[in-house]
Amino acid sequence: MLDEIFDDANERMKKSVENLESNFAKIRTGRAHPSILDSIKVDYYGSEVPVSQVANVNVEDARTLTVQPWEQAMVAVVEKAIMTSDLGINPVTNGNMMRIPMPPLTEERRKEFIKMARAEAEQAKVAVRNIRRDANADFKSLNKDKEITDDELRQAEDQIQKATDAHVTEIDAMLAEKEASLMEI
């Protein structure tokens, strides 16, 4: 019973860290990367889908992405979605292909992105701590129902605390890496 609770909590903590990783991918650095467009959704015959599901997204060079919609009718829709996104990028369309030059980041924009990264990391830490709180509540409930002893309760709480500390340390390391890549010129 304790192992099930611990395994479930550990799995949920890992998912929080993976979610942070995908959120960090959306915060752009100075380099072009196809995942930058993952957060942009376009209307495709009544459904909201990511750009990558209606077009080929490739890296042309370190500062340029190319987007080639599979259907000619989607060119204008994809272009508009990219321009109205909060990424601050403008595609240059010629025919059915778009080139998206990545503007160099200003110092002010870099600091904004670092604030966003820190907020995302803090949300991930809060999620991990909430998972720990839920697991501890489950442990205490088992103890209250006399299904586990006080010693087993303490051991379970120590084990979940160690898992929480490990995941928080991993989040801090990811944040430090993202900050370093954002400050890189």
pLDDT for res 133: 94
Quick: pLDDT tens for 11-41.
999 999 999 888 887 776 667 777 777 778 8
Q: Report CA torsion sign: 137, 139, 143, 149.
A: negative
Q: 117 and 178 share a domain?
A: yes
pLDDT for res 185: 62
Q: 83 and 39 share a domain?
A: yes
Q: Looking at the predicted structure, is the pLDDT value of residue 129 above 90?
A: yes
| Cα–Cα distance measured from residue 68 to residue 74, given in angstroms and rounded to the nearest whole number | 9
Structure tokens of 92? 């240059």
- State which residues form the domain around 80: 31-101
Tell me the Ramachandran region of residue 175: left when phi exceeds 0, alpha when psi lies from -120 to 50, beta otherwise.
alpha
Specify the number of domains making up the chain. Answer: 2
Q: 174 and 110 share a domain?
A: yes
**Mean pLDDT computed over 161-166:** 94
Quick: pLDDT tens for 101-121.
887 777 887 888 889 899 999
Question: Which SS3 state, helix, strand or coil, does residue 47 take?
Answer: strand
pTM for this model (two decimals): 0.71
Last-in-domain residue among 101, 118, 152: 101
13-17, 93-97, 165-169: segment of lowest average pLDDT: 93-97
Strands of the 64-69 sheet, one edge to the other: 55-61, 64-69, 97-101, 92-94
| Cα–Cα distance measured from residue 177 to residue 104, given in angstroms and rounded to the nearest whole number | 19
Q: What is the CATH number of the domain that holds 91?
A: 3.30.1360.40
- Chain centroid to Cα 98, Å, comes to 25
Looking at per-residue pLDDT, the higher value among 54 and 161 belongs to 161
CB 108 within 8 A of CB 15: no
**Mean pLDDT computed over 6-11:** 91
How large is the angle between the packed helices 107-144 and 2-26, nearest 10 degrees? Answer: 170
Q: 86 and 111 share a domain?
A: no
